[in-house]
Amino acid sequence: MSSTSIHPDGPPPGCLASLLPRLCRGFERLAIVMLLLTTFLVVLQVAARNVWQVGLPWADELARYGGLGIVYLAIPLLLLQNGHIAVDILSSRVKGRAGRVLAVVNEIIILAFCGLFLHGSYLFLMKAGKFSTPALRMPNLIFYLPVVVGVLLFTLVAVLRLTRAVRPASAGADSRGTPS
């Protein structure tokens, strides 16, 4: 991941804009640890099944938990660094005021997605949260915690991007506030 800041002048000290990059990088490091753990667990499962003819359901559950962490704890940093996959056929060609309006609309759509995702997660966890995973007996509220934490952080990044898209663009930055 590049260390490009969204705001070229840098955020004011102590504000959410200065905290978010550190928080996102911290969760990225946690996702990397989860990737290493998941890789180890998958290799262990293969060896256990092929060498000792033993299944390890607890390792499978931990690997699935790691997979959730890998994905959802890394997405806020991708959005913060504008490193996610984007279809920009239109937005890359629209300049000026229309480009800024399009950027604001785009950020509003991302924020609406976050709201819908968090609402859906809430509804899901109100039902599934009463249960535990079969092998480890891990409460589902803990099992799906990386999803909720990752999307909450993603939402904060989306709010930051929206506020920057609404503000007048500074010299040398595009409509999203990223350096050109």
Question: DSSP class of residue 15?
Answer: S
128 domain residue, yes or no: yes
CA angle 118, 121, 122 (to 5 degrees): 85
26 domain residue, yes or no: yes
**How far is residue 69's CA from residue 63's CA, in Å, rounded to a whole number?**
10
Q: For residue 87, what pLDDT is reported? A: 85
9 domain residue, yes or no: no
For residue 18, pLDDT over 50 is answered with: yes
156 domain residue, yes or no: yes
Domain that holds residue 74: 16-84+94-166
35 domain residue, yes or no: yes
User: Quick one: pLDDT band at residue 169, thresholds 50, 70, 90?
Assistant: low
Q: For residue 3, what pLDDT is reported? A: 43
**How far is residue 20's CA from residue 179's CA, in Å, rounded to a whole number?**
18
CB 71 within 8 A of CB 36: no
For residue 12, pLDDT over 70 is answered with: no
Could you report the per-residue pLDDT of 110-143, keeping only the tens digit for each? 999 999 999 999 999 999 999 999 999 999 999 9
Name the pTM for this structure. Answer: 0.82
* Residue 5: closest CA among 19, 25, 21, 27: 21
* Residue 45: closest CA among 60, 61, 65, 26: 60
**Number of folded domains in the chain?**
1
Could you report the per-residue pLDDT of 60-72, keeping only the tens digit for each? 999 999 999 999 9
Could you report the per-residue pLDDT of 81-116, keeping only the tens digit for each? 998 888 888 888 899 999 999 999 999 999 999 999
